[in-house]
Amino acid sequence: MQRPCNAKIVATLGPTSADRATIEALVRAGANVFRLNFSHGTHTDHKQRLDLIRSIEADIGRPIGVLLDLQGPKLRVGTFANGPVKLVEGAAFRLDLDRDRPGDALRAPLPHPEIFAALKPGTELLLDDGRLRLKVEKSGKDFAETTVINGGMLSDRKGVNVPGVVLPLSAMTAKDRADLDFGLTLGIDWIALSFVQRATDIVEAQAIIRGRAGIVAKLEKPAAIECLDEILAVTDAVMVARGDLGVEMPAEQVPAIQKRIVRECRKLGKPVIVATQMLESMVSAPVPTRAEASDVATAIYDGADAVMLSAESASGKFPVEAVAMMDRIIAQTEADPHYRAAIDASHTQPLANTPDAIGWAARSVAGLLDVAAMVAYTSSGSSALRMARERPRAPIIGMTPKRETARRLALVWGVNPVVCNDVTGVDDMTERAVETAKKLQFAERGQTIVIAAGMPFGTPGSTNLLRIAQID
């Protein structure tokens, strides 16, 4: 079962999509990767869902990726003695570390010494997803005196954001480390790392993961955008977390940042997911707004590898309909002649190395000979990634002897992952590629396919071979 679309769909599982019938319906509607959001649910809940995914994968015969989304640090105010309080514009408001004393209209506990360590006069604090804004007038290691810039009601445990400040916090809490260890024992394919501020956050996670899963850096902090190049150099993939970015940055800047991230990821050949509120109205309605459909299409025109559904598929009333709608939007967009023109116009030159040269050459040959399919025989996924970077017109078949590699490739633009046996040589590889292209109905007798691989076989990142084969 292969999808005709190039862009992939990431669907979040939750209370309304936890049973086998619904998960299978989501796959058949177009989902390629499932996100397990560890901000909610228990380890038992997530294991049950993963077991169902693997069972459905075996029945359908198509590799399905699973992404574990770590919660990350959650910065929140404490509780209030008499319920919600109203913060008035221009009034003074104090935050401090005294978590044992409930808050009131004049002060609130903020049990995060790391925040106070990073504050200075003039720093702004955002509360409750940016609905309230405070400006720091004076601060110390355990307090901050602020002025209310934008007032409103504030209640227990509302979130706190500190835009423009790099907080002395690891991207992983003790809970995240426990969740990560648990997920790795289950064979999770991708780990989404929240609260990324700097490249060292990725390096810290890599030391724990040790190649057992790919890392998706969630870009949701202004600090991460400021060191985007350094983060992209070390991460395996990226998620544009537009909701959190829109809290800490002016909303009008987010579209341009999204395009920049997608463009830079495409240049490096690293998968990029566009996420948050893509079909938000479908949480409660069977159809999206026209603006939401346009939003999804824009990400596809830009060449994003994947688009993601959150509450729409996890807790909404129409999870299957949301995936089916996203699939239709992708298909319609990719069928537009302007789509191919936009993809070609935004294509960038490859890096001056052998793997990128092979990917570039494969794209050139495919265009010149009008090949039916492109085949990447790969152990690590590198050959398939180099092909996908070129955004070719022909479908890509990612053949690999490693099931975990096939599942990771389920996230990558245009790649149809297939698990195969190890090959014994170039002729054996060519024969298997031809048979697979015919079996998937991408090619038939008389047509041509292009094959890329690395020699010696099984050596990660060694893409150095290009072969043209005729279908007999």
Q: Say which residue the tokens 């990660």 belong to.
A: 460
User: Residue 452: CA atoms inside 13 Å, Cβ hemisphere, count?
Assistant: 31
Helix or strand run (H / E) with residue 436:
helix 426-439
- How many Å apart are CA 77 and CA 110, to the nearest integer? 5
Distance of CA 31 to the CA centre of its chain: 14
For 166, the 3-state DSSP assignment is coil
Q: Is 363 exposed, middle or buried (0-12, 13-18, 19+ CB in 10 A)?
A: buried
The single residue of 20, 47, 74, 76 carrying the catalytic annotation is 76
Is residue 35 annotated as part of the catalytic site, yes or no?
yes
> What is the C-alpha radius of gyration for the chain, rounded to an integer number of angstroms?
24
- How many Å apart are CA 185 and CA 73, to the nearest integer? 23
- In DSSP notation, 44-110 reads HHHHHHHHHHHHHHHHHTS--EEEEE------B---BTTS-EEEPTT-EEEEES-TTS-B-SSEEE-
**DSSP assigned state of 41:** S
- How many Å apart are CA 172 and CA 364, to the nearest integer? 43
**Cis link prior to 460 (omega < 30° from 0)?**
no
The single residue of 12, 146, 276, 430 carrying the catalytic annotation is 276
Is residue 76 annotated as part of the catalytic site, yes or no?
yes
Sequence-separated (6 or more) residues with CB below 8 Å from residue 357: 350
Is residue 276 annotated as part of the catalytic site, yes or no?
yes
Residue 77 near residue 95 (C-beta atoms within 8 A): yes
| Single-letter amino acid, residue 330 | I
The single residue of 3, 35, 391, 432 carrying the catalytic annotation is 35
The single residue of 3, 62, 218, 221 carrying the catalytic annotation is 218
Residues with active-site annotation: 35, 76, 218, 276
